[in-house]
Structure 1
Amino acid sequence: MSNDNTPSPIPAFGLGTFRLKGQVVIDSVKTGLELGYRTIDTAQIYGNEAEVGQAIAESGVARGELFVTTKIWTDNYAKDKLVPSLKDSLAKLRTDHVDLTLIHWPSPGNAVPVAEFMGALAEAKAQGLTQRIGVSNFNVALMKEAIAAVGAAQIATNQVELHPYLQNRKLAEFAKSQGIHITSYMTLAYGKVIHDPAIEAIAKAHGATTAQVVLAWAMQLGYAVIPSSTKRVNLEGNLKARQLRLSDAEMAQIAALDRGERLTDPAGLSPAWD
């Protein structure tokens, strides 16, 4: 911890739990923790916080070694709802605090103003319920509103869809200019990029998997990644991406794959993307 009471930045590598439910998520988290994962990403809407909490409790890994992220769902953005909903999440996760809490999507139809939910999130941090706060799926305009509400220094990350086919450069450059980390979700584009010939060639040159190459690419750009898997071999393989370094030429080859291909764009939730 630095002496200005600001916790250290977010870890570059973690385990995602999107779409994993019941025993499947328990097994994935337990296996991940056994293999050495220490960062776990969940959300209220995933409906798996209790299972994630159970897996952590049964893993025997000390809470102090873990970095746990959850995300507030849109129904809970109002000033009187946000903190109680986070306390619910903490009870499910079996912890007295999380390391990072994000606003999951912009408020549909701006029903709850950005200043209101960011203020409530800052209050949750002041109460010690979360060590860091941030946003997810925010465009540049919404990030500016969030910064106006609480200050850029308070916003640990913006977690967005980002992969070789959707490199989100305008957003990433704006975040960087404000000192805000980008967390890439869907870094493997639901597996689409792992069959890309350019990435296959780079993987072959390194004796690595294509997934490792893509995860290493994102981390080398300074982004955090949270890949998920239910298979032990993939969980183990993904971890090895942390040791992989790509050359400038290889990074440029992947940069050239951007085609603005967005895979997550839920109607009623998505902002006007940059």
Structure 2
Amino acid sequence: MSIGNSPESPEDDRNFPADDRDSIGRALQQGRIAAGLTVDEVSASTRVRIPIVHAIEEDDFSRCGGDVYARGHIRTLARAVGLDPASLIEQYDAEHGGRPAPTPAAPLFEAERIRPEPRRPNWTAAMVAAIVAVVGFVGFTMFNGTDATTSGGAVVGGPAPEKKTTSPTTKPAQTTKPAPTGSAIAAVPKDKVTVKLTAIDDKSWISAKASDGKLLFDGLLLAGESKTFQDAERIDLILGNAGPIELFVNGKKIQDKFESGAVERLSYAKGDPEAG
């Protein structure tokens, strides 16, 4: 005789249904296989690095660089293999705590209201100090004027000293300084390729390599930060969350508009900049 329901009672299965959805990584992997694509082909079409594609298919999002980049990679890979990105993004948010809630405005205003008022300047003391200074100056001036009248009449009654004039021909010529250019790298060397990246209003993951394959930088570029790279032949770039990036190549601003959350692979050589 047993009391209550056994652990294997059908009622337990009804009360706690199992989530039979595939994981995000397995769904992307199955979609890729169904589309007849290899990891290399998906990486080439999406510009997402091969190690990151493998990690995402194994449900490892630590190599994405944060939730913003993880969502962007999931969206890009889902579109490449013909899956609905919205459902996968919703599943990612549900498994990783959801999107960060916006900061409420009310506490900010409350903080402004409870700030102590700044101390007002003591105008009375300032006026007293100014009056004392004026009286002292007037007395000093009157004393010096009386002493000069009694001891140096020739100076007081004599002619005023002749003023020296400078001929217009001897006036030093004024040189006009050139106006500063809008870019700090406008005067770049012609025999090298120079690339400057600035994160305007958001962070972005950056990877930069020289022409010989040497890794120049691999990491996050925070909002307001800049990085400049030079090489004798070529600079290869990978931009994660390319939207906030402002790009100067060989002294010229690149006018391409990158999308927020998108991954861009770019290559630049010497001379007039041209995206690879």
Superposition TM-score, scaled by structure 2 size = 0.22
| Greater per-residue strand proportion | 2
| Greater per-residue helix proportion | 1
Larger Rg, first or second structure (1 or 2): 2
Superposition TM-score, scaled by structure 1 size = 0.23
Which structure has the higher relative contact order (CA within 8 Å, separation 6+)? 1
